[in-house]
Chains A and B, each alone.
Chain A
Amino acid sequence: MNTKRLTFCALLTAIALTIFMVEAQIPPLAPVPGMKLGLANIVTVYAMFALGPADALMILLCRVFLGALFAGGSTFFYSLAGGLCCYLVMLPLRKLLTVKQLWVCGALSSIAHNVGQVGMAILIARTPALITYLALLLPVGILTGAFTGLAAQFLLSRLDGKLKL
């Protein structure tokens, strides 16, 4: 990893963290625990396709840890479980999707994020009934995920070739 690449990763982490912090200030869209736009995922999807899995993982983990540090740690384990599930689903998608299909990556990773988050909540609270929330989280997550994926897709197509790392 050269200095330029490291700087670019740091920049993306800062952008992801900023988006994350700003989004945390928006009042809940619906009274459903865990439901949010997930705008910070734009950066993860972009990093996965533009930089590769290793850099994407570093950016994701840094954002989750720093996010917990800045926004209060109460949701750290949910973010971590969701983020890692999201990452694991994105890994094979890198080979399965074209650069014009990042919206699919956004939607599928959003599903994975919700499943990981609810799974962690069930583990922590030991209340299997929380699984009912997936019925609300998934449809909304697919739509917001497709949107954030599309945002990453536009970003990738506009920055493609202009970036010499």
Chain B
Amino acid sequence: MSGFDGNGRRKVLGAVAAATKNEAQIGLANATPPVASRRRMLRAGVGAAGVTLIPGLGHVGWVYAADKAPIGTWPAGSQGSTVYIGAAVPLTGTYAVQGEDELKGWQLAVEHINTSHELMKKLAPKVDKGVLGKKVELVSADSAAKPNQGVQAQQTFINQKKVILMTGSTSSAVAVALNKFAQREKILYMPGISGSNDTTGKDCVRYGFRQGFYGEMAANAIGPILVKNFGKNRKAAFMTPDYTYGHTTTKSVNDYLTEKAGWTMVTNQVSPLGTQDFSQYLTNIANSGADFLINVNWGRDAVLSTQQAKQFGLIPKMTLVIPYQIPFLAKEVGPDLTAGVFAATDFWWTLEDRFPLAKLFVESFRKKYGYRPEWGAENAYVSFAHWARMVTEAGSFYPPDVIRQFEKGETIPSLLGDVHYRPQDHQCVRPVVIVRGKAKKDMKNNEDFWEVLELVAGETVIQAPDAFGCKLGEDA
């Protein structure tokens, strides 16, 4: 195989690179074209030789391992007894409440990985008190939902801890920035909550994988419910946060409702992240003649805009719809405001009645943190479990190996049944949960805010992999 010519050259480069850290980076830069060409060779080889290469991995794999040029934080990041994961999560600002919940989900996942917890073993069977013999440790910093702050935090983690996986977002603006950063640094990235179509759409990257649902899936899942319950040709006012999540989600929901049911968007009130006073926006909506208030705002923006919509008399005059559910919204605004409201979400704890793994998760989360987890924590936990599964199945921390494991698109378990990652855009095809707010009198406990109406299969609501212009880029 002529591919080994490139390997030979890289060996020399590798030896030179070992001298200093800076030179290693130069060596890596120089080595990139041969890596890419070997990648193509390998693919052709796998295509042609098929099974012969993979069962022979014990031997061939060893040869490759000795051959691989350093990439990103590999192998330095996985040479000690502990591997580090960096989380840049909003602990201040508009998304602080949700960030806090996500962080707990990641912390629990790491604890479960290191202790071979029953639930983790079900999601990632080869986890054995850590991954590949290493303990996992989570380091976290506040991103304040700001892209530059998120990237800075991760850069620090790379410098200080040589993190082998990055996570955190909550704002898709951060997710998109970290996607690009991950691709540049060649370090795997799994966003936390990220509702923008772009994260695995036009801003997708080879190094990024998203577990959670997003605007388009939410729109296609909640759309039919709205049409069924409220009929055709209705007038809707949208409230949209002014960044990638807001714009793509509003577009997806509006496209569905206008194309499938002849609804009209009478106004779209776009507000900056962190708006405190929504009076101007709500006044415009009050004068728009809308029947429906579709609130795409998120985090504290959603809490304030919903509360103020009531203060301005818009609720209950208009019917509130939450296309992309916000953890703790119902708790913060109270069931009076969310009763009867339709929402799409990733997870709701009462699904524990239907899914044993969900029950295990809710129980162990509640035991540790004293409340039932919302979907930020669920998404965080499952993301890490899937990562641990891929690493242990691949038997390697080498990022291209882990990427290839994800890209096999194998059916794997989640808390809500089987899911898979699409190789074309690295999006997890997973169910979307449709819920409706319960009235206070119907709540069985103080966290029983939503009633699960339907579990919509991921395949039926996800767009074609190339519909949003995803081009993954190179893996090495």
The reply to whether chain A is a binding partner of chain B is no
Give B contacts to A, CB under 8 Å: none
Give A contacts to B, CB under 8 Å: none
